[in-house]
């Protein structure tokens, strides 16, 4: 059995009741795919929430697989300077990341240049991409990249309950009007 839940569903008590009941019954035939969105309809998701969810599932004996990055971003991280770019993303607050997703490639370029500065290899990695290519790279989260999700699913232990934490961005693929000229804070 596979269940797909998001951040909001994990705010509901029945999810935790199901976890407890599954543990008591030693149920091993359940996979939970969980979308982690930095921003929900209600608010920006609290930093570090995924770690709490990961520990919760592990406490009940589940495997936890985190699918944070898609294939495009993972490939970029192997380029010279990619490790620095990945570190910046990993440390970027959810609110800023969500805003940049909707602001586009030029906003990503400005923010990365302002915060990382001229780092030689990182700057080359960023500058060799057009604004559209840079936006595609920076928005390539694991939950939006179905082959990355399928790779994770195929790697799961068939006899152990598994939770997949798949990063996504609410409204992925939507665009602001072309007249938008401001960049996020």
The structural domains of the chain, with segments of one domain joined by +, span 2-68+142-167, 74-138
Look at residues 65, 57, 67, 31 and name the one whose alpha carbon lies nearest to residue 158: 31
At residue 36, what are phi and psi to the nearest 5 degrees? -105, 110
The pLDDT, as a whole number, for residue 45 is 57
Over residues 60-99, the pLDDT tens digits come to 888 888 899 999 999 999 999 999 999 999 999 888 888 8
* Residue pLDDT, tens place only, 98-131: 889 888 899 999 999 998 877 789 999 999 999 9
Model confidence at 132, pLDDT cuts 50, 70, 90, reads: very high
Helix ranges, the chain (H): 13-24, 49-59, 71-77, 82-91, 94-103, 105-116, 121-127, 131-138, 146-154
- The model's pTM is 0.74
Does 148 have pLDDT greater than 60? yes
Q: Enumerate the β-bridge partners of residue 167.
A: 36
Query: Quick count: other Cβ atoms within 10 Å of Cβ 150?
Result: 11
pLDDT above 90: residue 133: yes
Whole-angstrom Cα distance, residue 60 to residue 109? Answer: 42
pLDDT digits (tens, 9 = 90+) for 29-50: 555 555 555 544 445 556 667 7
Please tell me the predicted confidence (pLDDT) of residue 73: 95
Placement of tokens 């993972």 in the chain: 74
Residue of 158, 119, 174, 149 whose CA lies nearest to 35: 149
Q: Is 14 exposed, middle or buried (0-12, 13-18, 19+ CB in 10 A)?
A: exposed
**What pLDDT is stored for residue 89 in this prediction?**
94
- Mean pLDDT, rounded, for 152-162: 83
More confident residue, 56 or 39: 56
Arithmetic mean of pLDDT, 147-157? 87
> What is the model's pLDDT at position 78?
97
pLDDT at residue 28 tops 70: no
């Amino acid at each position: 059995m596979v269940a797909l839940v998001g951040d909001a569903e994990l705010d509901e008590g029945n999810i935790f009741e199901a976890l407890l009941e599954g543990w008591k019954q030693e149920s091993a035939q359940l996979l939970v795919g969980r979308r982690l969105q930095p921003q929900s309809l209600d608010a920006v998701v609290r930093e570090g929430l995924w770690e709490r969810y990961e520990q919760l599932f592990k406490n009940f004996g589940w495997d936890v697989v985190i699918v944070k990055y898609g294939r495009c971003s993972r490939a970029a991280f192997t380029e010279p300077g990619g490790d620095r770019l990945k570190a910046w993303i990993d440390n970027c607050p959810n609110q800023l990341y969500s805003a940049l997703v909707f602001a586009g490639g030029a906003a990503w370029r400005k923010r990365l240049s302002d915060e990382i500065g001229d780092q030689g290899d990182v700057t080359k990695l960023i500058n060799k991409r057009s604004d559209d290519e840079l936006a595609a790279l920076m928005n390539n989260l694991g939950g939006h990249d179905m082959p990355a999700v399928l790779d994770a699913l195929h790697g799961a232990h068939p006899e152990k309950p598994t939770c997949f934490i798949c990063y996504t961005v609410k409204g992925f693929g939507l665009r602001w009007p072309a007249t938008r000229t401001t960049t996020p804070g």
